[in-house]
Amino acid sequence: MNYDINILIVEDLLTTRLFLRRTLKKLGYTNVVLSEDGEAALKELERKGYDLIISDWHMPNMDGLDFYKELSKNRKWSEIPFLLITAEKERDKVIEAVQAGIKEYLVKPVQPEKLSSKIKEVVFGDAA
């Protein structure tokens, strides 16, 4: 199946960015743009509209939580579904993310099936 949505991946590690793009393409998502941190992603959002943002938590310059907080301040970006992907799985870190407003969270390593299911849930409303 081919899904015609625009996805912005925000991840500092090139290998992870490329893995996510390759995985998304295999899942049928062909409109995928890569960004290396929150600051670069904000510039990208000024350039083009997105239907989903997938962001890492720990990045230089602007991490995923600070990036999410910046999105939340802007009315045109605050409604874009946001998926945080991170190695953080300790309870206090999960609580920190939830308190920042993060609703969707996947722990690395990302499994393609879980990513697919989460995207369908947050973008299309499918509880797969």
Give the pLDDT score at 26.
95
Tokens 């062909």, residue? 30
Contacts of 57 (CB under 8 A, 6+ apart): 63, 64, 65, 84, 85, 86, 87, 88, 97
> Hey, what are 79's tokens?
């409604």
Q: pLDDT, tens digit, for every residue of 89-122?
A: 788 888 888 899 999 989 889 999 999 999 999 9
Residue (of 24, 25, 59, 62) closest to 43 by Cα position: 62
Q: Are 64 and 100 contacting, i.e. CB atoms less than 8 angstroms apart?
A: no
* ∠ CA 83-2-37, rounded to 5°: 30
Q: pLDDT, tens digit, for every residue of 40-71?
A: 999 999 999 999 999 999 999 999 999 999 99
Residue (of 33, 42, 39) closest to 7 by Cα position: 33
- E strands in 16-103: 29-35, 52-56, 82-86
Domains and CATH numbers, the chain: 3-119 (3.40.50.2300)
* ∠ CA 21-24-29, rounded to 5°: 115
Q: State pTM to two decimals.
A: 0.93
Give the pLDDT score at 1.
65
- The residue-averaged pLDDT of 15-43 equals 96
